[in-house]
Amino acid sequence: MHIRFIALILVVFSHSVFSAAKIETWQTSQGSPVFYVETKGLPMVDIRVVFDAGSARDGYQHGIAALTSALLDTGADEWSADDIAQRLESVGARLGSGVSKDTAWVSLRSLTEEKLLNKALQTMQAILTKPSFNEADFQREKGRTLAGLKHREESPGALANIEFLKVLYKDHPYAHPSSGVVETVTGFAVADLQNFYKQFYVANNARVVIVGDIDRQHAEKIAQSLIAGLAAGEKPESIAAVPVPEKGVTKHIQFPSTQTHVLAGLVGMHRKDKDYLSLYVGNHILGGSGLVSQLFGEVREKRGLAYSAYSYFSPLLRKGPFTMGLQTRNDQTSQAVEVMQNTLKAFVEKGPTETALLAAKKNITGGFAMRFDTNSKLISYVSMIGFYQLPLDYLDTFQQRVDAVTVESIKDAFKRRVQPEFINTITVGGE
Amino acid sequence: MIFRVILLALVCLPISAYSSSVKVHERTFKNGLKVLVKEDHRSPVVVSQIWYKVGSSYEPGGITGISHMLEHMMFKGTKKYPAGEFSRIVAENGGNENAFTGRDYTAYFQTMEKSRLEVSFELEADRMRNIQLDATELKKELEVVTEERRMRTDDKPRSKTQEYFMAMAFSNSPYKNPVIGWPSDIANYQVDDLQAWYELWYAPNNATLVIVGDVKADDVFVLAEKYFAGIKTSDIKPVKPQTEIEQHGVRKTTIKLAAKLPYILMGYKVPVLNTIEDESEAYALEVLAGILDGGSSARLASKLVRGQQIAVSAGAGYSMMSRLPEMFMLDATPAEGKTVFDLEYALKQQVYDIQRELVSEQELQRVKAQVLASAVYERDSNFYQAMQVGMLETVGIGWEKVDEYVEKVNQITAEQVRAVARKYLVEEKLNIAYLEPQPLNQKKLVRKVAGGRHAH
C-alpha cells in the first residue's frame, strides 16, 4: 500500500494540461478597458467595475474613499436606498461595493435571465453614474462608519494593523486605515464625497470586468451601457513611490487583552516587481502555505505558542507590506517574537532547501486549477490582471514562472528585500 | 488566516438555500459508511469531505470541547504517517486541507486537482482508526487550542456575550456549551479522554464521505471501496436526547465587559426541521428570517437602520438544520444616542408587526426570488455544495432535503409566516443578553521599545 502511494505521487508531478481562463479585452466607446471571460454551466454572471479610487486617493481626508463607496447604493437617479435594494433583491441580484488601498469597486452578481438581469443592470448603472449623495443618507452612513471605527478599538488585532502600516508607511498614502479615523471622518461634509466621486468615478479611470454565462456580444453591450453615463474625466496621476525603508523599530501598545497580537514586517513588493515570483514562492515556504509553512511549524507545531502564525506579501500598485503575524498569551510574547525572528533570520541567511522548494512548487502548480475554479475566484484574478495591467496570459504562464524559481533566486531576493534589521515589530496586548 | 476552523454557527446565519438540480449518487458500504457523490465538471478539481456524527452537542460535562480537541489531534499522525506527514503529502499533491467542528459534526476535507482524489482517500481512511495520541503532543496542542479560544472568544466582547447568552438560554440542552469548550475543561483533557472519544465515534458507520467535483460517481465508489470498505464497523450507541426543558418566561442577562459599543442579542426557542411536527413551519420560519433580514431591502435594514435610524446594524437568523432545537435570533447595535433597551423595544415591534399583519406579497416574492437565485449561485462552489449535503446528512435530516428546499420555501404563504410568528416568537420563550461596555481602562500607550530589535 505504501509503495503504491509513492508511485502515485510520482505520477502526478507533471503539470495538468488544463489551460487557464481565456481573457478577452476591448474598450468601451469612451475608452474604458473591459476584461471578459465566458464561463458556461451556470446561468449567472459576475460584473465588477473597478476604479483607481481606493484609500490611497484619500489625500488628508482619511476614509473619504470608503465613505464615498458606502454612499453609492443609498440613492441614485430617482431611487431611494429602499427602492434600490428592492429592485436588486426582487430579482435575486447581489450588489457589492468597497475599497482597498488601490481600488474602489462596485460588483454585481445576477442570474442571466434577460428580464432579471436587465433590471439589475439598470440599477447598477444608476448607482455608478447617478448617485444622489443625499444629506440625510450621508449623515446616517457617517454615523455608522463612526460606530464601526469605535468598534474597531475593541480589537487588539485591528489596532496592531493600524500601527503596523503607520510605522511602515509614515506619510505615504498606504499608511492610514481605509475606513479612516474618527478625527477625519467626523469632519467630512457631503460635498467632500461629491468631489471625490467627480474626480475619480470617471470613464478614464474605470475598468469593467465580466465573468459568466454571457456571450461576447452581450458582454460588449453590458459594458458599454453600464458606464456610458460616466463623465470622461481624467486618469489620476500615479501615487507616489514608497520611500526606502529604514532601520526597523519595535513598538508596544498596552491593551487589556489576554493575548498579545504581533505583527512584524517591512515594505515589500509591488505587483510587477521583478522579484515577485522569488519572493512569492519563498514566502510560501516561510509562512504562506498554511499548515506546512516554516513559521507554522516553529511557532505552533513545535512549541504550541499560537493558533495561527503566518506571513504574506501584499503586492500593490506601489510596494505593499510584507507581514508576519501571530497571537499569543501575553507572558510568552517575547518568546514567540524571538521564534518568529529566528525563523525569518535563518530563512534569509540560508534560503530554503531544494526539498522544500520542490515541495512548494508541487503545491503551487499541483493546486493551480483550484485558484480559479469558481466564478468568484476567477473574477478576482481577472480584476487584478486588469487593474494592475498584467499580461493577459498571466495565469497561463504562472506555473512555468513558478518552476523557474531557484533556491538561489529566493535567497538573493530575500537577502536584498527582507533584511531582518529592517523588520518593524508591533505588539498590542497586556503585560 | 484561520486554520482548522470552528464553525460557531450560532448567530444570525443568513438564509441558507439549498439547491440541486444535480443528482447526488449514493452508496452505503457493508461497514456502514455512506458515500455521496455529486458530479460537477466545470473545473478539473474535486473536494473530498468526511463527516463524523460527533460534535460539542454529544459531549458530557467535564470534557466540553473534546470533539474540537480531537479534531486538532487528528493531524498528529498515525503509525503509517507520523506527525506532519498527512499535511505534507496533501500539500505536495497541490491540495488544500483543513477541518472544522460544530455542535453536531466534525468534518475533514481536502480540495485537490481531480486526479489526486486517491491521495485523500488513503490518508483519510488511515486516520479514521489509526491515530496515535501522545501526551507530549497533547500538551502542546492544548496550548494551541487555548490560544485559539483567547483569539476567538476571550478577547472579543461580542463573542463572549454570545457564549454567556447560550449558557443562559439553554438549561439542559448541550447547545448551552461552546463548541471550543469551557476553559477548565480544555485545561484538563487527558490522553485517555481523547482515546475514548476517538474510539467511541470514529468509525465508518458513523461517517459520511462526500465528494463533489470533476469525477465520475462510479469511479469514486470503486476508489472509496478500496480504501474504506475494509474498515471495521463499531458499535455506536445513540447519543442521549438531552431534550431541553420548557422555558416559562423571559430570561435576561447583562454582560459587563471592556468594550466600546453596546450590543443586544435576543433569541426565541424554536424547533428545527429535525424536531418539528409540521415541516412547513420550519420553512415558514426561514422565510420569516428572510423578511426581517434578507438583505438591504428587508425590514431590519430598511426600518431600523435607515427609517428609524436607531441601529447601526441589525440582524435576524434561523438555522433549521441543526440536530436539536435552536433559537430564532435577533441582534443589533444601537446608533449614537440610542440604547439596547430602545433596540429591544424596536425589535419586538418588528416581531409584533409580523404577528399582527400579513407580510406583503412583494416581500414574500422578494424572499423567494433570493432563495431561487441563491440556489444557482451556490453551485459556483463545490465546497459549498459538499457542505450542504454533508451537514444535512450528519445532523440526521438526510441529504435529500437539499433538493426540496427551493420548492418548500416557494410554497410558504403570508398566513403561514404570521402563524409561526404567533406560535413561536413569544415572550415566554425569549432570551436576551445586553452587552454593557466597560471602559477599556488602560490608556493607549504607544511605547517605543528600541530602535532596533526586541530585547531577548
Contact call for A304 and B305, based on CB within 8 A: no
Q: Do B380 and B428 fall into the same domain?
A: yes
Total domains in chain B come to: 2
Domain CATH number, residue B118: 3.30.830.10
B136 touches A: beta carbon within 8 Å? no
Domains of chain A: 24-227 (3.30.830.10), 250-429 (3.30.830.10)
- Calpha distance A285→A344 (Å, rounded): 11
Residue of B nearest to A363 (CA): B94
Q: How far is A369 from chain B (nearest CA, A)?
A: 7
Contact call for B147 and A359, based on CB within 8 A: no
Q: Do B117 and B58 fall into the same domain?
A: yes
Contact call for B372 and A42, based on CB within 8 A: no
Q: Do B256 and B224 fall into the same domain?
A: no
Q: Scanning the structure block, which residue is given the C-alpha cell 500593490?
A: A316
Q: Do B202 and B317 fall into the same domain?
A: no
pTM over 0.90: yes
Q: Do B339 and B206 fall into the same domain?
A: no
Is it the case that residue A389 has pLDDT exceeding 80? yes
- A155, A250, A366: residue with CB nearest B453: A250
Q: Do B126 and B40 fall into the same domain?
A: yes
Decide if B59 is catalytic. Answer: no
- B93, B148, B259: residue with CB nearest A154: B259
B361 touches A: beta carbon within 8 Å? no
| Domain-located, residue B245 | no
Test the B interface: residue of A90, A328, A333, A425 with most B CBs within 10 Å: A90
| Domain-located, residue B208 | yes
Q: Do B259 and B199 fall into the same domain?
A: no
Mean pLDDT of chain A: 94
Q: Are B300 and B377 in contact (CB under 8 A)?
A: no
Which chain A residues are closer than 8 Å to B147 by Cβ? 259, 304-307, 327-329
| Domain-located, residue B446 | no
- Calpha distance A370→B26 (Å, rounded): 25
Among B213, B228, B243, where does a domain finish?
B228
| Domain-located, residue B365 | yes
Burial class (CB in 10 A: 0-12, 13-18, 19+), B178: buried
Residue range B156-166, pLDDT digits in tens = 999 999 999 99
CA angle A187, A151, A61 (to 5 degrees): 25
Q: Do B164 and B266 fall into the same domain?
A: no
Q: Which helix (H) or strand (E) holds A55?
A: none
Which chain B residues are closer than 8 Å to A148 by Cβ? 312
Q: Do B220 and B113 fall into the same domain?
A: yes
Q: Do B221 and B279 fall into the same domain?
A: no
Structure-model confidence comparison of residues B11 and B436, the more confident one:
B436
Q: Which domain holds residue B387?
A: 251-438
Residue range B129-174, pLDDT digits in tens = 999 999 999 999 999 999 999 999 999 999 999 999 999 999 999 9
Retrieve residue A248's grid coordinates. 526597523
Is it the case that residue B5 has pLDDT exceeding 90? no
Q: Scanning the structure block, which residue is given the C-alpha cell 498606504?
A: A174
| Domain-located, residue B234 | no
| Domain-located, residue B14 | yes
Contact call for A146 and B3, based on CB within 8 A: no
Q: Do B18 and B53 fall into the same domain?
A: yes
Q: Scanning the structure block, which residue is given the C-alpha cell 498571466?
A: A394
- Calpha distance B187→B183 (Å, rounded): 6
Mean pLDDT across A411-418: 97
Q: How far is B234 from chain A (nearest CA, A)?
A: 24
Q: How far is B70 from chain A (nearest CA, A)?
A: 15
User: How many Cβ pairs within 8 Å bridge chains A and B?
Assistant: 279
ipTM attached to this prediction: 0.93
Q: Do B69 and B27 fall into the same domain?
A: yes
| Domain-located, residue B240 | no
| Domain-located, residue B456 | no
B94 touches A: beta carbon within 8 Å? yes
Q: Which of B71, B281, B363, B393 is catalytic?
A: B71
Q: What percent of chain A has pLDDT over 70?
A: 95
Is it the case that residue B442 has pLDDT exceeding 80? no
Which chain A residues are closer than 8 Å to B93 by Cβ? 9, 12, 362, 366
B335 touches A: beta carbon within 8 Å? yes
